[in-house]
Amino acid sequence: MKLVLLSDIRANLPALETALADIDSSKPNAVYYLGDLLGYNVWPNEVVQAI
Amino acid sequence: MKIALFSDIHANLPALEAFFKDVDSRKPDAIYCLGDLVGYNIWPNEVTNEIRKRNISTIAGNYDFGIGRTSNDCGCAYKTDLEKANGSVSISLTNSLMKDEERAYLRTLPAHIKVEYQLNEDKLNLLLVHGSPRKINEYLFEDREEKSLLRIMHDADADILCFGHTHKPYHRILEETDGHKTRYRHAINLGSVGKPKDNDPRGCYVMLHIHENSSVLYLESVQVEFIRFEYDIEKAAKAVEESILPNDYAENLRRGY
């Protein structure tokens, strides 16, 4: 069983997009986000929507 | 906050599709599946894949646990010889239909999901199980003694306990007094999407409304909406009749029993 865990995206949309592409290709059984989606960059809404 | 909760699809793809259409139109903030994806109809792989495709957080039901391990025991409490004979046709058909990847997915499903919300100075624990916190196939019927239900919820530290397994929906509010404070616990049976047994053949699921300024001390903090939706029952019943499954299962779908 493969679980993906990630956190502290910090409104960084390019980083999140790259992570999501990587995660999709590895086909995990579940994905969990451990918070701090926002802050320190300009894409807070985009990051919330993507997740 | 709106949380959609559903369970006991039992390989009924027309019911699951109608459920998704209904729930999507209501735009919940989160959605959870409380297990029993397979058994009793011909679409166990399709149902599994539809749920998986949507990345819905899902726990295992007793039927999923059995099929995931290619077992001939689904942990179902059949009473009569006829029910036992019918049940063994269903589990053997499901085992023969289930593909490797879908079966492996069933094995990854956890037993419980616990969600702790932060509400002002307090917290609110939502516990999701299939049968009961103690056992995947324990039936928590509506007539369960209040003291027993309260003890189960207290031991599991659940302010809101959601479960399925009986296919009969209900919401019970249990009062607990601790010193001079009275708090409320909610026991919620979701009913069944694909095999209702409360004499209403429509599919059933729950929309849980939790108020953002709520607390376990207020009765109105949590509201439970039971949603019934129409689906193509004939399609699901005919699929049963055209398979080796017992025709009783088709009749049960038409009658909601």
Q: What is the CATH number of the domain that holds B45?
A: 3.60.21.10
- pLDDT tens digits, residue range B107-155? 999 999 999 998 777 889 999 999 999 999 999 999 999 999 999 999 9
- pLDDT tens digits, residue range B173-224? 999 988 888 889 999 999 999 999 999 999 999 999 998 777 777 778 899 9
Q: Of B206, B171, B143, which is closest to residue B6 (Cα–Cα)?
A: B206
**What was the pLDDT predicted at B97?**
98
Residues on chain B touching A1 (C-beta within 8 angstroms): 107-108
* Yes or no, beta carbons of A29 and B108 under 8 Å apart: yes
Q: Is any Cβ of chain B less than 8 angstroms from the Cβ of A34? A: no
Per the prediction, chain B carries an average pLDDT of: 95
- What is the span of the domain harbouring residue B245? 2-255
DSSP-derived secondary structure for chain A:
--EEEE---TT-HHHHHHHHHHHHHH--SEEEE-S---SSSS-HHHHHHH-
- Note whether B16 and B7 are within 8 A (CB): no
Question: For an interface test with B, which of A1, A3, A32, A48 has the most B Cβ atoms less than 10 Å from its Cβ?
Answer: A1
- pLDDT tens digits, residue range B22-70? 999 999 999 999 999 999 999 999 999 999 999 899 999 999 999 999 9
Residue A3, min C-alpha distance to chain B (Å)? 10
| Domain total of chain B | 1
Name the residue of chain B whose CA is nearest to A31's CA.
B55
Helix (H) or strand (E) holding B222: strand B222-229
Question: For an interface test with A, which of B108, B109, B113, B117 has the most A Cβ atoms less than 10 Å from its Cβ?
Answer: B108
Residues on chain B touching A31 (C-beta within 8 angstroms): 55
Residue A38, min C-alpha distance to chain B (Å)? 18
Judge whether residue A48 has pLDDT over 80: yes
Residue A49, min C-alpha distance to chain B (Å)? 12
Distance CA B106, CA B152 (A): 26
Instruction: Report the complex ipTM.
Output: 0.79
Amino acid at B185: R
